[in-house]
């Protein structure tokens, strides 16, 4: 199922300023993959998730010191693209766990802290994403530093 946002939809956007660590953010901005996707819009980014995000959901490319994964680049680009709630809901309803987990990571980096728990809590019970969601409640996942939850 493809989804293209209707510009007339009135839904709030997630905050565009993410809380990735400076190291990860700078690595993303300097990566060749990010430069390839930086002009892409929502539907194109969903296709990139399908093609390039691996089920391991690593923030860094294994064996390539300091190279951010496609997941990290796509999450950053989704923040920049000012994803709206309807698009986020589309991702969370996806049957593809890589798309759903990308949305969960986006919530972890972009949601106001007071909205984070209500957004993540239902996914702790979904078998396909429960372990990943639980890892997002810690201060790091797969060796990527996450912002401390107050």
- Model pLDDT, residue 132: 93
Strands (E), 10-135: none
Is residue 12 predicted with pLDDT exceeding 70? no
Span 88-126, pLDDT tens digits: 999 999 999 999 999 999 999 888 888 889 999 999 999
How far apart are the C-alpha atoms of 93 and 108, rounded to whole Å? 17
pTM reported for the whole predicted model: 0.87
- For all residues of the chain together, what is the average pLDDT? 87
Residue pair 100/94 in contact by the 8 Å Cβ criterion: yes
- Enumerate the domain spans of the chain: 22-145
Phi, psi of 147 (to 5 degrees): -65, 145
- Model pLDDT, residue 90: 97
């Amino acid at each position: 199922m493809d989804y293209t946002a209707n510009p007339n939809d009135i839904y709030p956007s997630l905050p565009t300023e993410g809380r990735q660590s400076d190291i990860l953010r700078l690595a993303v901005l300097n990566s060749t993959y990010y430069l390839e996707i930086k002009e892409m819009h929502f539907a194109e980014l969903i296709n990139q998730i399908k093609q390039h995000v691996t089920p391991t959901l690593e923030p860094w490319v294994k064996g390539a010191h300091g190279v951010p994964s496609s997941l990290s680049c796509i999450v950053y680009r989704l923040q920049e693209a000012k994803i709206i709630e309807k698009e986020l809901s589309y991702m969370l309803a996806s049957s593809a766990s890589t798309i759903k987990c990308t949305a969960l990571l986006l919530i972890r980096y972009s949601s106001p802290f007071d909205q984070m728990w209500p957004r993540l809590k239902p996914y702790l019970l979904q078998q396909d994403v429960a372990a990943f969601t639980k890892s997002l409640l810690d201060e790091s996942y797969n060796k990527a530093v996450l912002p401390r939850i107050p």
